[in-house]
A = this chain, B = another copy of it.
Amino acid sequence: MPPTPSSPTFSAADLRFSLDLPEWVAAELNLLPPTLPTLAERMAEVIRFSRLNFQSQTGGPFAAGVFERDTGRLVVIGVNRVMASGCSSAHAELMALSLAQKRLGAYDLGGPGLPAHQLVVNWRPCAMCYGAVLWSGVRSLVIAGEGPELEQSTGFDEGPVHPQWRGELERRGIEVHPDVLREEALAVFREFSASRQFVYNARLGKHGP
């Protein structure tokens, strides 16, 4: 007997989801050198990817890279894929961390036998991605900046990050490097804002049913 229309029926396919990066990312990654020794070099690439993402209309102006902290060896750079993939958690940090964990075969990037890993992001992570950094096992977080400029220029809501966010990271063995190429990152947000692309901000100030 076929299920009634209102009956939930679940197949294995209904209980699986996939997220991916746009095609241009593979081509760009394959052009990069295997290592990017300085924090500024790593951030410059992350910022370049954040610009390419909104210019290519493949996602918002956000990118995040995972590197080996001490050598700068590239693991992967991810970009925001929320609207493209229909998944509100497909932020750049979650894409990069999940793909790095797949690539290295480890849900803990700071686990036994692995070198220390670092996440490089073109602004302070939002409330969700802040938590994702904690659980990822990275030992180092590099950000282009923090503060209201991102929300002011783009309209994105970054959510309530804990007031002691930095101390809570350091308490868990995660060092923070702020203000790496801050002006360069802000320039991308201003370009994005000027492009008048749609911003999904979970209706802050616009409450529905």
- The stretch of A48-56, A141-149, A165-173, A182-190 that contacts the partner chain: A165-173
Give A182 to B76 CA distance when docked, in angstroms. 41
Please provide the chain A residues from 25 to 49 with a CB less than 8 Å away from any CB of chain B in the complex.
25-26, 29-30, 32, 34-35
Give bound CA distance, A127 to B137, whole Å: 15
Given contacts A14-B76, A107-B87, A160-B168, contact A131 B134 (CB under 8 A): no
Q: How many copies does the complex hold?
A: 2
Name the residue of chain B whose CB is nearest to the CB of A110: B208
Taking a contact as CB atoms closer than 8 A, the residue among B76, B106, B160 that contacts A86 in the complex is B106
Contact across chains for B101 and A87 when beta carbons are under 8 A apart: yes
Question: Which B residues are in CB contact (< 8 Å) with A101?
Answer: 86-88
Q: Nearest Cβ distance between residue A163 and chain B, in whole angstroms?
A: 7
Cα–Cα distance between A203 and B83 once the two chains are bound (Å): 34
Question: Does A99 make an interface contact (CB < 8 A)?
Answer: yes
Contact sample, A vs B, 30 pairs, CB 8 Å cutoff: A6-B34, A8-B32, A10-B25, A15-B21, A15-B25, A16-B20, A17-B19, A17-B102, A86-B101, A86-B105, A86-B106, A86-B107, A87-B107, A88-B101, A88-B135, A89-B89, A89-B132, A90-B107, A107-B200, A108-B200, A116-B208, A128-B130, A128-B134, A129-B131, A134-B202, A136-B202, A139-B209, A157-B172, A160-B168, A161-B162
